[in-house]
Structure 1
Amino acid sequence: MRPASMPSTRLTLAYIGVGLMGGPMAARLVARGHTVRAYDVSADRLAQAVAAGARPALDPADAVSGANAVLLNLPTPAAVEQAVFGPDGVAQVMRPPQVLVDFSTIEVERCRAFAARLVARTGCAWIDAPVSGGPPASADGKLAVMAGGPADEMERLAPLFTDISSAFTHVGPTGAGLTAKMVSQLMVSCLYVVLAEGAKLAEQAGIDVASIPACVSGGHADGELLRQIFPRFAERDFRPRAYTRQLVKDMHMVKELADTAGAPTPMMDEALRLYDRYVALGGSERDTSAILELYDHDAQPRHAPA
């Protein structure tokens, strides 16, 4: 379900966490006419958000005044808990009909526990709304948003979701959006590894990596992710669009959920083993596509044909 579009409605939004993903999303919302009060623990990131038109807040609680919704985009569950329930957290001042929308990727059960705490303390609803698509899609309003929480709150915040996404799905109750994100991250992490493996085979076998997207265009191996990252492979352009450490964090969450659900994940287990190795070699701050560097590390010299 996608909420009905209400393009004439402009919202006042508190935005906590304006980093690699949150920064472009906040700037997009400002550009679409919404009022954004932003906070980030990094003064540099906050300054960038202010330069894009957001108004600065002193702390999470300070951002909440007058907001229709409080938006979170934070790197870890601990950061989410601190921003919501800490001494300067938003729960100190939130009151209905304000609603919290968490774009962060955290554990499903922890999300449900946080939501219950927020309702008990403030009476405000919690929507888990993790996103997929990366910084370019966030800047262009073309994210995929998968949401869990009350349907009436989704409808009320339709202008928000319409302006940041090209695909919005209300998956179900609280935690359902994050469950869908875990499925997405399982598939994406395996794809990164498979694409890196294909790129390295192409290189070692003597063909141009940059030619592969054209070679498979329209075929079964074609896909958006391949078209995005094979040019990066060819140039070894691994400036972070998404950090490897964040993907690895998500993969460990996927594994925890899969173990609880009794779902086998042999392919992702191997992908996680490879990413853990890459992090151990120093790749945590590199782009998620930089897993190719592990294949560079492991590659053997080419053998001349017999």
Structure 2
Amino acid sequence: MEVGFCGLGLMGVPMVRRMLQAGHRVWVWNRTRAKAETLIADGARVVDTPTELAARVEAVFLCVTDAHAVNEVVFGLGGVLGEDQAESGAARVRYIVDHSSIPPSTTREYAARAARMGVGWVDAPVSGGVPGAVAGTLAVMAGGAAADVAVLAPVIDSYAARVTRMGEVGAGQTTKLCNQAIVCATVAAIAEAVALAQRSGIDAARLPEALAGGWADSTLLRTFVPRMTSAGHEPLGSFRTFQKDIDTVADAAREAGAVMPVAGTVQQVLRLGAAMGLAHADLAAFIEVVQPRARD
């Protein structure tokens, strides 16, 4: 399939590379063109605006920072479905696949707007981080029409180990919020455990070994304990990104009437971390909040 991709950050670049390796023809756009040009050697074709993608491809994939960015890329001037595109009548695009993490209610609003233009919308946030994108083992939580998900699944399969349709538009975003609530609460708990071990004179780096096979064992434990006890690791995600997601969790919980006291506490920890200057730090910086001198 010929596809377009907007948003070439830590996740977008390896996802596009997996698409290309699978044989798809990929046109790319990024606000900073230099990031897009790094993929030319892999076989990607660079365009100047998202509008150009709409005339060339059947599906446009997004992986951008927030709801505002999705709105600008899709509906703004020069956007995939912007007014200038609608007036030209040259659009070929039939599907939007949004891998960004944005509020479910906003997703439904955008999808309804796209539907009026004859374009299907699939919200498809991912889990697995940069390592999952590189390895092609991401977990994708999809919301949208079953037929649309079925058409797009072969492309998504190039960088995902699993695509699970959770329901209609917005269901994928809600599932991602559940994922983020679990991940952030768990990483915060791991940071507290590492701090307790260190304060007690125990080698915290051995926690994964000691807890292996027990109920506390997890991919997150094995991933984040080394990051909290030693330096030199590649970033997996920023405090700022997870703060945005947990703020969205709180909004969604309020709308649904769900009681989430643990997520509320984690939200305050993330805000504290941002106030400490950790907004751009890796998520492992939870340890810096609960034990600021841990790496002195």
Query: What's the TM-score bracket when you normalise by the shorter of the two chains?
Result: over 0.9
Where does residue 267 of structure 2 map in the other structure?
Answer: 272
Once the two structures are superposed, residues 80-136 of structure 1 have per-residue CA deviations (whole angstroms, 9 ceiling, x without a partner) of 00000011000144856621100000011000000111111x201000000001011
Where does residue 12 of structure 2 map in the other structure?
Answer: 22
1:80 to 61, 64, 70: 70
Taking a change above 3 Å as real, the CA distance of residues 241 and 76 of structure 1, as seen in their structure-2 partners, is same
TM-score, with structure 1 as normaliser: 0.90
**Could you tell me how far 1:15 is from its partner in structure 2?**
0.1
Where does residue 68 of structure 1 map in the other structure?
Answer: 58
Give me the whole-angstrom Cα distance separating, in 1, the residues matched to 2:41 and 2:33. Answer: 12
Give me the whole-angstrom Cα distance separating, in 1, the residues matched to 2:257 and 2:172. Answer: 20
The 5 A counterparts of 1:172-187 are 172-187=167-182
Residue 286 (str. 1) matches residue 281 (str. 2) = yes
Taking a change above 3 Å as real, the CA distance of residues 97 and 281 of structure 1, as seen in their structure-2 partners, is closer
Does the residue aligned with 1:218 lie in a helix, a strand or coil? Answer: coil
Where does residue 191 of structure 1 map in the other structure?
Answer: 186
Where does residue 207 of structure 1 map in the other structure?
Answer: 202
**Could you tell me how far 1:66 is from its partner in structure 2?**
2.9
**Misfit runs of 4+, over 6 Å:** none
**Alpha carbon RMSD of aligned pairs, Å?**
1.5
**Could you tell me how far 1:161 is from its partner in structure 2?**
2.1
Contact 1:238 1:287 in 2 (8 A): no
Contact 1:238 1:290 in 2 (8 A): no
- Report how many residues are paired: 288
Give me the whole-angstrom Cα distance separating, in 1, the residues matched to 2:71 and 2:59. Answer: 17
The 5 A counterparts of 1:148-297 are 148-237=143-232, 239-297=234-292
**Could you tell me how far 1:166 is from its partner in structure 2?**
1.1
Taking a change above 3 Å as real, the CA distance of residues 282 and 16 of structure 1, as seen in their structure-2 partners, is same
Give me the whole-angstrom Cα distance separating, in 2, the residues matched to 1:89 and 1:171. Answer: 28
Contact 2:54 2:93 in 1 (8 A): no
TM-score, with structure 2 as normaliser: 0.93
| Identity in percent | 34
Does the residue aligned with 2:158 lie in a helix, a strand or coil? Answer: helix
Contact 1:95 1:124 in 2 (8 A): no
Give me the whole-angstrom Cα distance separating, in 2, the residues matched to 1:18 and 1:27. Answer: 11
Structure 2 stretches of 5 or more lacking a match? Answer: none
Residue 126 (str. 1) matches residue 121 (str. 2) = yes
Greater CA drift, 191-200 or 152-161: 152-161
Once the two structures are superposed, residues 54-101 of structure 1 have per-residue CA deviations (whole angstroms, 9 ceiling, x without a partner) of 111101111233312110000011100000001100014485662110
Greater CA drift, 278-287 or 49-58: 49-58
Does the residue aligned with 1:70 lie in a helix, a strand or coil? Answer: strand
Once the two structures are superposed, residues 143-162 of structure 1 have per-residue CA deviations (whole angstroms, 9 ceiling, x without a partner) of 01000001111111121122
Does the residue aligned with 2:81 lie in a helix, a strand or coil? Answer: helix
